[in-house]
Amino acid sequence: MPDQPIHIAIIGGSLGGCSLALGLHLLKRQDITFDVFEAWSFSERGAGVGVHPNGQNSLRELGLDVDALLARAGAFREKTTEAVVAYGEHEGEYLMELPPMGIQCVLRKTLLDEMVKLLPEERLHANKKLVTVEEGERMVLQFEDGTSYEADAVVGCDGLRSTVRGFILGKDDPAVPPKFTGYWDARAFMMAEDSREAWGDDIVQYDNPREYYKVGEGCTMLFASAPKGHLGGVVVAGAAGPEEMDMVDNSKKPLTREFLEKKLSGWGKPYVKGVIDSLLNPDCGPGILFGEYESQDAPTWCKDRMCIMGDAAHAALPWMGQGFSMAAEDAAIMTALLGAVSSRGHVEQAFRAFDKQRRGPGGRPDFVVKKGAQVAALCAGQKGLDPSTALQGLDHMPDLFVHLWEGDIKKEIQSAVDAFEGFKSS
């Protein structure tokens, strides 16, 4: 037990930040308290999320009844992920087929709503945009609304454009801003019954919920085929051409029919019009073309009693679907490390241990960043549409996913705790 109570400020109240908050809450330690500060409201603005087996196991390590949580949020189990050639000589041939491993698909908003219900209301602070952190015996956080808060440690869970990342690295460090990956996407979501009418019953199969890529040259459609009564979706994504390279500086811009018809002009399939109509329907999606960004390599994820995790530390391309599951792993490891702290003075060593376990080559987040680029190139059609040549020079796709799904979170936690003990004694 710490010699003095330790107060943790969690910056960011999305899925990653609330996962860490739940972990600390379920420690049931009177001497470790937390507060979550969210710049906006505790409501997700994204769409669906896949909770992969490694993410589910990490949430269990926090002490959550994961199946009950996901059921309350309206999740369904996905049977498989498939990627097939959309048209041409090799139409229908497989580029990738993943084994069924129990991925649960759920709306980000409903999952976050259910997580927030499990947290003490008095620990959740909305509309708190962090401006500065003054370091001293205690850390003083100043917010845009003029309020302040004192803490013993700060964990930044504030996403791709993290403010805390800038405090750790220095606001002018070139590794602070994310970098454009050269990919874009557009998204739409609707009930399974409506999506089947729009895209066809060969794509939306109620008894076969799956992620289903139709791959064309430089562009792909990813269908989230859902069972009846659930929300299905489609993502059209691709490699940026010269006209999209302005997304280096602009992460999103209005989506137009002209853009979509140009990108999909060679497909010649009946479902294309239904997909375009869905993407431009304001009842189905935001009507925005998003650039896909990832974190730059950083020399550290911590400084003194500040640390970052989740997308604030290691945002990756979304093509492996591991964003939330990696954040859940982070939360499980961070909770265990903070639970092992017996003195305020040991918080820094806990953060150094987290940094050692998760950052850099060999870490699981780095694996997602590096291997996700292979998945993107394949599924965006950049490797061509002939499976016999497209797969050359790539890792065996199912092995990459299974490696992540079968990750041993208990081993990860023990390795981090061992590093913490080593830092304490050095």
Asked if residue 214 and residue 188 are part of one domain, the reply reads yes
- Kindly state whether residues 276 and 304 are assigned to the same domain: no
Of 294, 318, 346, the residue that ends a domain is 294
The identity of residue 254, as a single letter, is P
351: domain range?
6-45+110-178+295-425
Closest C-alpha among 303, 323, 308, 254 to residue 54: 323
Residues 354, 279 share a domain: no
Residue 246: the pLDDT is 83
Q: How far apart are CA 91 and CA 87, in angstroms?
A: 4
- Are residue 331 and residue 200 in the same domain, yes or no? no
* 309 and 160 together in one domain: yes
Question: What DSSP designation does 357 have?
Answer: H
Question: Does a structural domain hold residue 268?
Answer: yes
With respect to residue 318, please indicate whether it lies within any of the assigned structural domains.
yes
All residues at 6 or more sequence positions from 330 whose CB lies less than 8 Å from its CB, including other chains: 16, 20, 309, 310, 313, 354, 358, 365
Per-residue tens of pLDDT for the chain, all 426 residues: 556 899 999 999 999 999 999 999 999 999 999 999 999 999 876 678 999 999 999 999 999 999 999 999 999 999 999 999 999 999 999 999 999 989 999 999 999 999 999 999 999 999 999 999 999 999 999 999 999 999 999 999 999 999 999 999 999 999 999 999 999 999 999 999 999 999 999 999 999 999 999 999 999 999 999 999 998 999 999 999 888 888 878 889 999 999 999 999 999 999 999 999 999 999 999 999 999 999 999 999 999 999 999 999 999 999 999 999 999 999 999 999 999 999 999 999 999 999 999 999 999 999 999 999 999 999 999 999 999 999 999 999 999 999 999 999 999 999 999 999 999 998
Residues 159 and 183 in one domain: no
Total domain count, the chain: 2
Q: Is residue 255 part of a domain?
A: yes
pLDDT score of 40? 95
Question: 279 and 253 in one domain?
Answer: yes
Q: Do 54 and 405 form a contact (C-beta atoms < 8 A)?
A: yes
Confidence (pLDDT) at 205? 93
Q: Which of 271, 294, 317 is the last residue of a domain?
A: 294
Same-domain status, 142 and 197: no
Query: So what's the pLDDT on residue 114?
Result: 98
Q: Please state the pTM of the whole predicted model.
A: 0.97
Same domain, 150 and 16: yes
Among the listed residues 365, 364, 375, 385, the one whose alpha carbon sits nearest the alpha carbon of residue 319:
375
User: Rounded to the nearest 10 degrees, what angle do helices 347-358 and 409-425 cross at?
Assistant: 130
**Of 294, 325, 351, which residue constitutes the final position of a domain?**
294
Claim to verify: residue 239 and residue 220 sit in the same structural domain: yes
CATH number, domain containing residue 367: 3.50.50.60
The answer to whether residue 190 sits within a structural domain is yes
Residues 252, 152 share a domain: no
CA atoms within 13 A on the CB side of 261: 6
- Judge if 272 and 323 occupy the same domain: no
pLDDT at 4: 81
Helix and strand counts by DSSP (H, E) for the chain: 15, 20
Cβ atoms within 10 Å, residue 242: 6
